[in-house]
Amino acid sequence: MTNYIKHPLIQSDMVEQRLYQLDLAGRALSSTTLIVLPTGLGKTIVSLLVIAARMEKFGGKALVLSPTKPLVEQHAAFFKKVMNMHEEHIITFTGSVAPEKRAELWKNGKLIVSTPQVIENDIITKRISLDDVCHITFDEAHRAVGNYAYTYIAEKYFENAKNPHCLGITASPGSTDEKISEVCEALHIRSVAVKTESDSDVRPYIHKKEIEWIKIDLPKDMTEIKGLLEKVMEERFTKLTELGFPVHNPKFVNKKELLGMQKKLQEELRGLPDPSVYAAISVVAEIMKVNHAVEIIETQGMESLRKYMERLEHEAY
């Protein structure tokens, strides 16, 4: 006989009870957690259990971030199917939804499933606020290193939310302790919970699978544009050095370091105002925008980059 999850925010007789998922959800609710679980074993269900518990306790909104449009649509379809919530309250955000439309949808949405670049851009442009977001799930959390949008979102979320809580989920956290530590630091995660296919509570659900990794190169036109954007960033870093604010190894600087520099420069303005500090703040803002453009072309393609550039141009007027 199959036992199902019983919760007011989850449809009856829809989600099977699995001990290892309940265990992981319990750990995730006790502390911000990175969950490592093999592919095909229901990481999204663990997210569902955590979201339902957080929304029942705190109300507000929940946010699920996933790196690609197909994954966003897949997760949104799952949540609409299993959550005891009106479909219009489960919102899908991708670059194909106009910014003004997203701002309106955000007001009425309770569970928002989105690509991170969209949320990052809407935070930067102040279209949305994370104040009443009671939970964020970072899907494929191993991406939360360097310049990836997850890092910026987590930083702003834990700065501004009334009841912040996050969950990172991944099947491949990284091959070194340093990489895992970097992911945890970027997402403000305090603990790591790992389940493997050899665990006794997981073994009954294992199915034989074959995985083939396919590596692809960016098309020539995208590579050329990326190169031009990186050249612009190099020029801006040179300008920072000329202003007296050199950046060590700018090729490898990440978004968190840029945010830290921005914060430090803003603190310097509290003393005697210095024109070079104002200029440096402006240059750092430019670097962050160009850096975001590089990320978009790598993860979303030319059309998304074009729309982002159009938005920047519009905001300049």
Q: What are the extents of the domains in the chain?
A: 19-205, 220-315
The predicted structure's pLDDT at residue 161: 96
Q: Is 80 exceeded by the pLDDT of residue 145?
A: no
The predicted structure's pLDDT at residue 272: 66
The predicted structure's pLDDT at residue 102: 93
| Residue 210's pLDDT band (cuts 50, 70, 90) | confident
**Best CA proximity match to 25, nearest among 52, 42, 50, 56:** 50
0.95 cut: is pTM over it? no
| Residue 199's pLDDT band (cuts 50, 70, 90) | confident
Model pLDDT for residues 235-272, shown as the tens digit of each residue: 999 999 999 988 888 877 877 788 888 888 888 877 66
d(CA 233, CA 290): 7
Upper half-sphere CA count for residue 109 (Cβ side, 13 Å): 23
**Residues sharing a CB contact under 8 Å with residue 61, sequence separation 6 or more, in sequence order:** 109, 110, 111, 112, 132, 133, 134
- According to DSSP H, which parts of the chain are helical? 19-30, 43-58, 69-82, 99-108, 116-124, 149-160, 177-186, 220-242, 255-268, 275-299, 302-315
Residue count of the chain, please give it. 317
Neighbour count for residue 33 (Cβ, 10 Å): 26
Model pLDDT for residues 86-116, shown as the tens digit of each residue: 989 999 998 888 989 999 999 999 999 999 9
The predicted structure's pLDDT at residue 50: 97
Residue in the structure block whose two tokens are 């990172």: 168
Q: What is the CATH number of domain 19-205?
A: 3.40.50.300
| Residue 147's pLDDT band (cuts 50, 70, 90) | low
- 312 or 227, which is more confident: 227
Strand partners, 138: 65, 168
